[in-house]
Amino acid sequence: MKYFLFSCYIILSSSVFCQNLSITLPQKSSLDNLIAQIESQTNYKMAFSDGINPKSKLESPITYNNIPVPELVSQLNTSLPYEFKIVGNNITVKQKTKEISQATYSLSGQITDSENQPLFGATIYIPKLKIGTTSNTNGYFSLKIPEGKYTIDISFIGYTSIKEPIAITKNTTKNFQLKESGEILQEVVIDQKNNATNIKKPQMSINSLSTQEIKQIPVAMGEADPLKSLLTLPGVTNAGEGASGFNVRGGAADQNLILLDDVPIYSDSHMFGFFSVFNADAIKSLDLYKGGIPSKYGGRVSSVLDVYQNNGDYKKFKVDGGIGLISSRLKVEGPIKKDKASFMLAGRSSYAHLLLADDENSAKFYDLNSKLNYRINNTNSLEFSGYLGSDVFDLNDSFVSTYGNKMGKLDWKHRFNQDINTNLSVFYSDYTFKLTLSSQDLNWESNIKNIGLKYDWQHFISDKIQLNYGVDALYYSFNPGTLKPDNEDSPINFRQLDKKYALEPSAYLDVSQKISDKIQLRYGLRYSLFYRFGPQDVNNYAENPQIFNPTFNIYEKATPTGTTSYSSGEVISHFSNLEPRLAVSYILNDKTSFKASYNRMAQYLHIISNSQSPSPVNIWTPSGPFIKPQLLDQYALGYFRNFNDKTYSLETEVFYKNIKNRIDYVDGADLVANNDIEQVLLNGKARAYGLEFLFKKNKGDLTGWISYTLSRAEQKTTGNTPSEPGIANGNWYLSPYDKLHNLSVIGNYEYSKKWSYSANFSLQSGQPVTYPNGYYEIGGIRVPNYTARNENRLPLYHHLDLAATYTPKPKKKKGWQSHWVFSIYNVYNRRNAASIRFTTNDDTGVNEARRLSIFGLLPSVSYNFKF
């Protein structure tokens, strides 16, 4: 009998163990799909250990035909991050334990584009291990990886993504080059170019535009403009048509830190705002941080615009250029020594003044960009960056205004090992404004100069932790104004407003950390200091620099009781601030995530202006005895999602900003050439809050985005005592940069290889302004009476722009290549108000409002080429 039972057991066991089955699962299938196919074709039941999620996705497709169960289990143990084991009629599944003895190596390298330009922020990801990192400003990356065979994914916004197999058996250095157009490379899979939202990175409140996107957006004058393109993004507005500067989340233009190759630039426009200082041909990348700002950046409380120039091609010479109606540009780049040294030179100049019938008047500009690179060896390189730009505005030689930026920087990039990269920089920056008035026999000059030193380190601790840390110091020299007579007989006396000097040192630590597959963090701390020092004579006052006169309900200048003299190098005032930063992302799945951020920032520089748009004559002034540093606390929460295989992306954010020590001028203040500016300023605070929405279509012949912002920006400026009214009776009043509604719709359509079309529709609430609500007469002179500060608005601002690009020979990839751009700015001829002026009609004596409009319908054409 027992032999019979034993024989039955053997037969039954053999029938179980000898079963064959076939498995077919596509990529991204879940673990329970695999389980279902095994249980439906065999007598086995699956058993799970704690911690196993049956809904977990399988990174790679699975295909087996007529395979025995034991062999299937062996194959699954090799290819999946689980341990499968046959126990009787069950197959157990548990998480693989890491082998302590398994060797770990570094995978490092550099990510570049097709012109050998390093790509900052490219994503490097290992799907099998679910780990990844991003490249630094020099394109370098480093990952800690266990020994084994993997597939590596490299991606970057605006470029094709690649997937390549790689075997790790030792510390490995491997460089990758991303292409802008699809090409078939051996053993490399290329995905379609995609601008999908990065779900996993904790960084939020950042917008990036590629050079290609910038050149597709129609703008006035037909010139591709990086700064004007920013206005199509949520949370970014302008001060009016043809105006310079930009405002971010209700902040002023002077609250934006503008960096060109990490060097501060103090004026962002040419021709009073018609063009930006950035030549699109010379620009490699452009990133705008509106919140969640990494601790590497400091010195401003609204945003950081980080712009990098092209490095120049290391392999071959290239020429790019364009001819427009009022300006032309040319860029030349190539190797000085192949694969060793390169250069880039770009120039741009306007010639509208040559087309004027009156050759005694002119408005023109030029700028020059340069970049030199020298690779000393595999671990050391030198880099020089330069910029020179100038504007000239001339009215019959009686009024001549000249202003512009100069910048120079030298970098030493050193790589200690595969995990540590450093960058040591010294730089100089200068913004100068000059004015000649022949009728008054005077010359006026003002400037702000910078000398700086930075030392940045990037340290890859592990695949989960990356450190960025460094120190920097900026020396400032402020000349608010030098007044010189034009000749010896001039009635004007020489006058020098008090020059000011300051030093701003700081240190920072920034940590990127992966807590789990669901949670990633970026946190850090910046410690900034500011020293204001002599030589300078500083006024003393009995109480405050301003005195309120209750009889006339106005503020008057207080009379100084004396002065305190500070010698050269003697500290007048000093400040210090800790600036914590935090950003976190919670990943729901591969398509969706929530993000939150907080950052505190300090700003020690200020522009005192009574206009919404910064003008060349505006003067920068440092914090000191009467002007405190501005302090920002900003909070943001966002929801991010990709749809339909990343064809569509949605980004939504809510934010709240609170700013302390926001100064404002009293009514009737004299701001120009005022040596005692503290007498017309009051200290207050500001706040801004809102909702931002960005919906993008990333793939297909039709691409583009819709951005919308609903926001409010306000200020509150009380008096020095509770009995004083301050500004607007001490109540909250609209900031000059408040835009309740801000809508942009961008569309790009590739009709054929020869023709593509683009459109841009913009709509913004009108600027807050202060209108007179009546007048009274004194001695026959009419004196206007004004409403409360910024109680009125300019009319709604909107326009539609169209452009068409024609490429005669789209298949031509060598030699002379060209294309034409035809554009129409403001298609329906909307007369948007730059300002409204209230005057009295000389003929009728009736008061009337007169609207000043800059642009109506404006067609343009440009011819662009490269070879």
Return the top range by mean pLDDT from 36-40, 686-690, 775-779, 816-820.
686-690
Average pLDDT over all residues of the chain? 85
Q: Phi first, then psi: what are they for 17, rounded to 5°? A: -70, -20
Which tokens sit at 784? 């206007």
| Average pLDDT of the residues in 322-350 | 92
- Give per-residue burial for 625-637: e unless 16+ CB within 10 Å, then b: ebbbbbbbbbbbe
Cβ atoms of 141 and 133 within 8 Å: the answer is: yes
Distances 488 to 74, 193, 341 between C-alpha atoms, Å: 98, 66, 53
Say which residue the tokens 């104004």 belong to: 481
d(CA 718, CA 662): 11
With 60 as the cut, is the pLDDT of residue 190 above it?
A: no
Q: Is the pLDDT of residue 22 over 60?
A: yes
Q: Which residues pair with 91 in a beta bridge?
A: 46, 86
pLDDT at 800 over 50: yes
Higher pLDDT, 235 or 646: 235
Q: How many CB atoms lie within 10 A of CB 148?
A: 15
Whole-number pLDDT of residue 666: 86
Which residue, among 576, 598, 588, 708, has the nearest Cα to 639 in the 3D structure? 588
pLDDT, greater one: 359 or 399:
399
pLDDT value, residue 612 = 58
Portion of the chain with pLDDT greater than 90, in percent? 44
Q: Would you give the DSSP letter of residue 503? A: E
How many C-beta atoms lie closer than 10 Å to residue 780's C-beta?
5
Tokens of 477: 């020299």
Q: What is the pLDDT of residue 100?
A: 44
Q: Write out pLDDT tens, residues 715-764.
A: 999 988 888 989 988 999 999 899 999 999 999 999 999 999 999 999 99
User: Is the pLDDT score of 409 beyond 90?
Assistant: yes
The rounded distance, in Å, linking the Cα atoms of 454 and 191 is 38
Q: Is the pLDDT of residue 291 over 80?
A: yes
Query: Residue 232 is which amino acid?
Result: T
* DSSP result, 713-739: EEEE---SSTTS-TTGGGSEEE-TT--
Which residues lie closer than 8 Å to 855 by C-beta, 6 or more apart? Answer: 220, 241, 242, 799, 825, 826, 832
End-to-end CA, the chain: 93
The torsion region of residue 76 among left (phi > 0), alpha (psi -120 to 50) and beta comes to: alpha
The one-letter amino acid at 550? P
Residues of the chain by 3-state class (helix, strand, coil), percent to 5: 10, 55, 35
Q: How far is CA 284 from CA 265, 374, 782, in A?
A: 17, 18, 55
Q: Which of 824, 821, 825 is nearest to 798 (CA)?
A: 825
Contact 222, 325 (CB under 8 A): yes
In this prediction, residue 276 has a pLDDT band, given cuts at 50, 70 and 90, of confident
Q: At residue 385, does pLDDT exceed 60?
A: yes
Q: What is the pLDDT of residues 199-242, one digit of tens each?
A: 778 888 888 877 777 877 877 666 788 888 888 999 999 876 66
Q: Is the pLDDT of residue 377 over 50?
A: yes
Residue 195: the pLDDT is 64
Question: Which two tokens mark 691?
Answer: 């909702």
Tokens representing 724? 């004083």
Strand (E) or helix (H) holding 866: strand 858-866
pLDDT of amino acid 356: 55
Q: CA-to-CA distance for 703 and 40, rounded, in angstroms?
A: 45
The predicted structure's pLDDT at residue 282: 92
- Secondary structure of 164-223 in the HEC alphabet? EEEEECCCEECCEECCCCCCCECCEEEECCCCCCCCCCCCCCEEEECHHHHHHCCCHHHC
CA 495 to CA 462: how far, in whole Å?
Answer: 60
Structure tokens of 254?
């002077």
Q: Taking a C-beta distance cutoff of 8 angstroms, is the pair 154, 161 a contact? A: yes
Whether the pLDDT of residue 139 is over 90: the answer is no
Burial (CB count within 10 angstroms: exposed 0-12, middle 13-18, buried 19+), residue 2:
exposed
- Provide the β-strand partners of residue 506: 472, 528
DSSP 8-class letter at 568? B
Report residue 237 as tokens: 């507005």
Residue 357 has pLDDT above 60, yes or no: no
Place of tokens 């929460």: 637
What pLDDT, on a 0 to 100 scale, did the predictor assign at position 7?
A: 43
732 neighbors 690 (Cβ within 8 angstroms): no
Position 8 scores a pLDDT of 43
Task: Write out pLDDT tens, residues 488-507.
Answer: 777 778 889 999 999 999 99
**DSSP codes of every residue in 338-365:** TTTEEEEEEEEEE-GGGG-S-TTEEEEE
- Find out whether 330 and 346 touch, Cβ atoms under 8 Å: yes
Torsion sign across C-alpha atoms 844, 847, 852, 857? negative
A 10 A CB-CB count for 179 gives 15
Dist. CA 207–CA 332, nearest whole Å: 29
Question: How many other CB atoms sit within 10 Å of the CB of residue 639?
Answer: 14
The answer to whether the beta carbons of residues 463 and 144 sit under 8 Å apart is yes
Contact 306, 286 (CB under 8 A): yes
Query: Which whole number is the average pLDDT over 247-252?
Result: 92
What is residue 646's predicted lDDT score, i.e. its pLDDT? Answer: 85
Q: Taking a C-beta distance cutoff of 8 angstroms, is the pair 328, 348 a contact?
A: yes
CA distance 217 to 228: 9
Q: In terms of pLDDT, which residue wins out, 17 or 788?
A: 788
Q: Which residues contact 564 (CB under 8 A, 6 or more apart)?
A: 537, 538, 540
Tens digits of residue pLDDT in 511-562: 999 898 899 999 999 999 999 999 999 999 999 999 999 888 889 999 999 9
The DSSP line for 361-393 is EEEEEEEEEEEEEEE-SSSEEEEEEEEEEEEEE
Spatial separation of the C-alpha atoms in residues 126 and 335, rounded to whole Å: 34
| β partners of residue 375 | 381
Three-class DSSP labels, 92-140: EEEECCCCCCCCEEEEEEEEECCCCCECCCCEEEECCCCEEEECCCCCE
The whole-angstrom separation of Cα 514 and Cα 506 is 27
Helix (H), strand (E) at residue 781: strand 781-786
- Tell me what pLDDT residue 358 has: 57
DSSP 20-63: EEEEEE-TT-BHHHHHHHHHHHSS-EEEE-TT--TTPBPSS-EE
Using DSSP's 3-state secondary structure scheme, residue 597 falls into strand
CA distances from 584 to 508, 589, 776 (A): 19, 15, 58
Q: Is the distance from CB of 159 to CB of 94 less than 8 angstroms?
A: no
Question: What tokens appear for 599 in the block?
Answer: 């950052």
Stretch 76-97: mean pLDDT: 80
Residue 578 pLDDT class (50, 70, 90 cuts): very high
Q: Is the pLDDT of residue 3 over 60?
A: no
Instruction: State the chain's maximal CA–CA distance in angstroms.
Output: 135
Question: Between vectors from CA 574 to CA 572 and to CA 576, what angle results, nearest 5°?
Answer: 175
Instruction: Give the mean model confidence (pLDDT) for residues 554-577.
Output: 94
Q: What is the pLDDT of residue 344?
A: 96
Q: Is residue 56 predicted with pLDDT exceeding 90?
A: no
852 CB-side CA count, 13 A: 10
% pLDDT > 70, the chain: 90
Q: Which helix (H) or strand (E) holds 697?
A: strand 681-697
- 96 and 85 in contact (C-beta within 8 Å)? no
Residues β-bridged to residue 781: 778
